[in-house]
Amino acid sequence: MTTRRSPDPITPMWRGVLAFRLLTWAFAGGTVIVQSGHYQREWLAWTVLGVMALWSVVSSFFYLRERTRPPALVVFDLVLTTALLLTSHWVLSDEQFALNVPLITTVWAAVPPVAAGARFGASGGVLAGLVLGVATGLARDKFDIDVARDGVLLAAAGLLVGMAATMGRRSAARLEQALRKEAATAERERLARSIHDSVLQVLARVRKRGNEVGGEAAELAKLAGEQEIALRSLVTTEPLTPNDSGTSSLRAALQLLATSSVQVSTPADDVELPAHVTDELVAVTREALSNVEKHAPGAQAWVLLEDLGSEVVVSIRDDGPGISDGVLEQAAADGHLGVVESIRGRVRDLGGSAALDTGPGRGTEWEVKVPSTRGAK
C-alpha cells in the first residue's frame, strides 16, 4: 500500500523566493541599463543578463512544483549564480571596479542562499551565503569591509529563511500528528459507545449472573470480567503504532495489561519513548506478571508507571507468598536464566537497572528504571 506524501508546508515560501528572484532581476536589468556604455565588454553584460532572465523563468517553473524541486536543483542554482557573478571580472571596467559599481548579478545573487535555506534549512542557507560571499571577493580581487558585509548579509538571509523553513515544517508535522491523534480519539470514543451499548453490557451481565449462581458459572463470571476489563482498556487507550518521530506511548501499552487481577496506574500525561524502548519495557512487565500468574496463582498485582523526567520507572508488585532467599541464585546455578535474561538482561540492554525486592510472606516487587531519551529528539 502506497502512503500518500504530505505536501511541503512551506510551499508559500517558495513563491516568495520566486517573487524575490523576479524583483532582483528587474533591479539587475536596471543597473545594466544605467551602466550601459561603461562596461569593458558590453555584449557579455547583456548576455549574462539574458541568462539570468532565462534561468529566472526556468527555475520559477521548477520551484513552483514540489516534485520538480530536488536538492540538486538548488545546488545547480548556486553553481550557476556563482559562475555568472564571477564573469564580472571580464564585464566591468577598471574604472567601474574603482568606483565600486555593483557586480553584473547585483542583488540577484542573493536568491540561492534564500532557496538553499528553504530547501536545506539554516545550515544550507548559511553555507550558500558564504560561497557567494567568497565569490564576490574573488570577482573584485579583494576582501575588504564591503565584501565582508555582503557575505554576512547573504549568510544571514540564508540563516533566517532556513530557520523559518525548519520551524514551518516542524509545526506542520506536529499539527498533522495532533489531527491524526484527535481523529483516532474520536473514533475510539465512537467505538467505546457502541461497544458499551452491546458487548460490554453483555459481559457485565454474564459476570453478575455467574457470581450469583456460583459453581462453574463463577469461573465463567471471572473470565467475562477479565475480558470486559481488557476490552474496555483496548477501546479507551491510544493506538500503539509508532508515530512519525519513531516514538510510542508506554502509558497506553501498559494500560492494555489491566485485568481483574492486575491494576495499572499511569500518569495523566502521556509517556512517549522510542518504540523499541516501549516494546522492551512492555515485555519486561509481561514477564513479571507471567511469573506472578505461574508462581502465585490468585495473587493481586499492581503496575505503576512513573515519569521522573530524566528516567522512567515501572514497578510491578504482587501480594503473593514471595520468593525465598537463595531460590533465584539456585535457579541461575541450575541454568534457569528466565528472570535474569528476560527482565534484568532486557533492562540492562536499555542502559537501565532492575531491582528485585522480595521475601517469604511479603510478595514480590520489581522496580525497573531506564533513562529517558526524549531529550535527544
Model confidence at 352: pLDDT above 60:
yes
pLDDT on residue 2: 43
Q: State whether 20 and 104 are in the same domain.
A: yes
In a domain, 3, yes or no: no
**pLDDT tens, 60-110?**
888 888 777 788 999 999 999 999 999 998 999 888 888 888 899 999 999
Say which CATH number the domain at 358 has. Answer: 3.30.565.10
Give backbone dihedrals phi and psi of 186, rounded to 5 degrees, phi first.
-65, -40
Instruction: Copy the grid coordinates of residue 155.
Output: 549568510
Q: pLDDT tens across 290-314, in order? A: 888 777 877 889 999 999 988 999 9
Q: 124 and 45 share a domain?
A: yes
Is 129 part of any domain? yes
E strand intervals along the chain: 247-249, 262-265, 272-274, 301-307, 311-318, 353-358, 364-371
Instruction: Report if residue 256 sits inside a domain.
Output: yes
Q: Are 301 and 260 in contact (CB under 8 A)?
A: no
1, pLDDT greater than 50: no
Q: What percent of the chain has pLDDT over 90?
A: 28
Task: Give yes or no for residue 374 having a pLDDT over 60.
Answer: no
Q: Determine if residue 180 is left, alpha or beta; phi over 0 gives left, psi from -120 to 50 gives alpha, anything else beta.
A: alpha
Whether residues 21 and 158 share a domain: the answer is: yes
Has residue 236 got a pLDDT over 60?
Answer: no
For residue 173, give the C-alpha cell: 508535522
Report the C-alpha gap between 158 and 272 in whole angstroms: 34
* End position of a domain, from candidates 174, 207, 226: 174
Position 5 in a domain: no
d(CA 251, CA 273): 10
Query: Please, which pLDDT band fits residue 232 given cuts at 50, 70 and 90?
Result: low
For residues 375 and 266, state if they share a domain. yes
> Is there a single domain that holds both residue 262 and residue 163?
no
Same domain, 159 and 299: no
pLDDT in tens, 121-139: 899 999 999 999 999 999 8
CB 366 within 8 A of CB 352: no
pTM, 2 dp: 0.57
| Contacts of 288 by beta carbon, 8 Å cutoff, 6+ apart | 316, 343, 366
Handedness of CA 236, 241, 243, 246 (dihedral sign): positive
Shared-domain flag, residues 73 and 168:
yes
Mark whether 276 and 377 lie in a shared domain.
yes
Residues 261 and 354 placed together within one structural domain of the fold = yes
* Residue ranges making up the domain that contains 46: 11-174
CB 160 within 8 A of CB 145: no
Does position 150 have pLDDT exceeding 90, yes or no?
no
Q: How many structural domains compose the chain?
A: 2
Percent of the chain with pLDDT over 70: 83
Is residue 301 situated within a structural domain? Answer: yes
Residue 44 lies in a domain: yes
**Nearest-angstrom CA–CA distance, 150 and 88:** 16
Which residues share a beta bridge with 368?
Answer: 314, 354
| Residue 375 in this model has a pLDDT that exceeds 70 | no
Residues β-bridged to residue 45: none
Provide the pLDDT confidence category of residue 213 given band limits of 50, 70 and 90: confident
Q: Are residues 166 and 19 in the same domain?
A: yes
- Which of 155, 174, 193 is at the close of a domain? 174
Name the band, by pLDDT with cuts 50, 70 and 90, for residue 370.
very high
Report the pLDDT averaged over residues 29-34.
92
Predicted pLDDT at 127: 94
Does 377 have pLDDT greater than 50? Answer: no
Q: Which of 174, 199, 224 is the last residue of a domain?
A: 174
How many Cβ atoms from other residues are within 10 Å of residue 364's Cβ? 23
User: CA-CA distance, 349 to 110, in Å (whole number)?
Assistant: 50
Has residue 291 been placed in a domain?
A: yes
The Cα 48–Cα 276 span in angstroms is: 56
Same domain membership, residue 103 and residue 251 = no
347 in any annotated domain: yes
Looking at the structure, tell me whether residues 157 and 254 fall in a common domain: no
Q: Which residue has the cell 453478575?
A: 208
